Amino acid sequence: EPEVTQTPSHQVTQMGQEVILRCVPISNHLYFYWYRQILGQKVEFLVSFYNNEISEKSEIFDDQFSVERPDGSNFTLKIRSTKLEDSAMYFCASSSFSGANVLTFGAGSRLTVL
């Protein structure tokens, strides 16, 4: 069954460092998303991306965050200068079309900021 793959599975970084989380969405999907889950809290929407541009973003997704689809297969989330509160599990997801909200999620990248 097609799946969304994410790397790394776990990253530890120092506060203030830049991190890039990578995702390979399902190949025929056109819509891409990042969600995050702080330990013990709800899964929260960060950003959605379609046709090489952001279609929606939450208040969490401030200037420290950016997304990019650098080639035909990867979708990345960059955090420019990490803070302690950025520690969370980051989930990438994709969907085939926006007419239904069915997202397929990756296994997540756990980010720990020290």
Cα(31)–Cα(109) distance, rounded to whole angstroms? 19
Q: Which of 15, 18, 55, 114 binds other proteins (CB under 8 A)?
A: 55
CB 100, min distance to other proteins, A: 6
CB 85, min distance to other proteins, A: 19
Strands, E assignment, the chain: 5-7, 10-13, 19-24, 31-37, 43-50, 53-57, 65-68, 75-79, 88-95, 104-105, 109-113
Considering beta carbons, is residue 19 or 103 the nearer one to other proteins? 103
- Using CB under 8 A as the binding rule, whether residue 111 contacts other proteins is answered as no
Cα(34)–Cα(53) distance, rounded to whole angstroms? 13
Q: For residue 95, report the phi and psi dihedrals to the nearest 5 degrees.
A: -145, 155
Q: Which of 8, 16, 56, 78 binds other proteins (CB under 8 A)?
A: 56
Residues that bind other proteins (CB under 8 A): 3-4, 31, 33, 35, 41-45, 47-48, 50, 55-58, 91, 95, 98, 100-108
